[in-house]
Amino acid sequence: MRSSLKTRPPAAGRGNGPPSGTGPGHEPESVREEMADRFRISTDPSLLDLDVIHGFLTRSYWATGIPRERVERSIRGSLCFGLYAEDGEQAGFARVVTDRATFAYLADVFVLEPWRGRGLSKRLVETVLAHPDLQGLRRFCLATQDAHGLYARYGFAPPADPSRWMEIVRPGLYETRLAGSNRARVQASGVTRQFLSSEPDPAEPDIDGDGVDRPRSVRCWRSRPKSGCAESRRSWSPR
């Protein structure tokens, strides 16, 4: 598979995504692009299709019901990578939350169904890991429910010592707010029926497209200088 890496200034007027990486401490950056056969992977925030990104994430197992505004805000604070088909249609996405010096967190990685089975998730992850701002980090981490095989190819593994890690988790945060908002609208209209199940879609496909069912959710990390493998005892969602 041929690939070429290019650097250019950001384009203007394409896509509907917000500028990414524009929070405090972020410098304006040049756009990096890689061609994967007839697909393009770009860090140009002007190409991002926010409707496509939100449409996938709000139905994903890790961000069910997430508001569009929250997705837009997350993009503004991240280094984002868009995957595009030959006609410019967005086919996938990934973002990295990072200080660009010591730490990075990979999140919201997906390839849409019509373009799976072509190795694009691998090319997307490879492009993310090759970005110059993500080199020499002491720790690069992520969370996944069903794509361990994909990330293990690139050195990610469960934490060597899970007892050293702590977290604040609010499961179902977006679903609860969404259901509450809809209940309020229903009550205001005089309808008493409640709806919107808080259960995630059990048929959510894995981004690697290998058809393997992996019901457990563990944290995966890629650490330097020492790496190891030990299974986490608790499930964890990236959001």
Residue whose C-alpha is closest to residue 5's, from 35, 45, 37: 35
Query: Contact at 8 Å (CB) between 130 and 122?
Result: no
Average of per-residue pLDDT across 101-111: 98
Q: Please list, residue by residue across 64-79, b when 16 or more beta carbons sit within 10 angstroms of its beta carbon and e when fewer do.
A: bbbeeebbbebbbbbb
- Residue 129: is its pLDDT beyond 80? yes
pTM of the shown model: 0.68
- Residue 122: is its pLDDT beyond 70? yes
Q: In this structure, which topology does domain 5-141 adopt according to CATH?
A: Aminopeptidase (3.40.630)
Query: Contact at 8 Å (CB) between 106 and 23?
Result: no
Average of per-residue pLDDT across 201-225: 45
d(CA 142, CA 103): 11
Min mean pLDDT across 96-100, 113-117, 142-146, 233-237 is at 233-237
Query: Contact at 8 Å (CB) between 118 and 34?
Result: no
d(CA 177, CA 95): 24
Neighbours of 170 (CB within 10 A): 9
Q: Which residue has the higher pLDDT, 204 or 49?
A: 49
Q: Which residue has the higher pLDDT, 145 or 190?
A: 145
d(CA 18, CA 26): 14
Average of per-residue pLDDT across 125-140: 97
How is residue 98 written in tokens?
């990072």
